Structure 1
Amino acid sequence: MSGPPPPYPGEKGQEAGYPPQPQQGYGQPPPPQGYPQAAQPGYGPPQQGYGQPQQGYAQQQAHTTVVVGQPTATVLVQQFREAPVNTACPHCRAQVITATQYETGTFAWIICLVLCIVGCWPCCLIPFCVDGCKDVTHSCPNCKQVISRWNRM
């Protein structure tokens, strides 16, 4: 290499690779805030509205239309288990606490069959008497329609 690179076009009297020197001296105070700034040599005209309030801005804001999207539906998944549940009946649309009823289901029959195979045939009727082995049916106390059924299996 044979010295510094050539200067960029428009860089007369300036060493190559260094930024342009400011035209104002260090002793000059900056222009006061809030007043339009005069164009400085080497820079473009000041941008309209940058640091200054725009004319008619309050009028634009008064006529702004806000478009709000449709709210998303929240789906609440209720768990119908052994205890009564506070829910809206899908049949009569009433807000109710479900009435529960225990019914013999598949789980009670499987326990009965296992007890018979093991040899406890006198005890095989116990699952039909214990609510913990039965299915639970939730119904509406107003219209008596079945809302849900919880199976033990």
Structure 2
Amino acid sequence: MSNKSPEGPPPAYQAQPGYAPAQPGYAPTQPGYAPTQPGYAPPQAGYNAPPPGYGAPPPGYGQASTTVVMAQPSTVVLHPARLGESPAQLQCPRCNAQIVTSTYYETGSLTWLAAGIICMVGCWLGCCLIPFCVDGTKDVVHQCPNCKSQVGAYRRL
């Protein structure tokens, strides 16, 4: 069994579907280069540089200087007077370190007020102790995780 076609060897040039046939007067200037297009000058005589390969730098590469701008992530630093319920990033006034505060809850005036109102309504047998178990009625105290000093507090009332 041979793979030769019964018609013989293929012709020197055979137009394939989807390709334009060669134009009359077409002659490549140098082997390995694309033909010159109408309206463009032919290559200069004596220019024998090979075509740029895959991954080759473009012409003129490295001649111009490039400025790289790197954006730094911005952080919002809060003043201790503007602290909220969640931990905040700020500079500790005692140790001067950039920190994210650690928080804990302590009984404040809103806790006592809620307990007093519940007691006056008539739920004095144990329901008046609920505000002492709920963090939503307590004050939030912020402290530095490095030096453990109190940085500020969020008072609910």
TM-score by length of 2: 0.48
TM-score by length of 1: 0.49
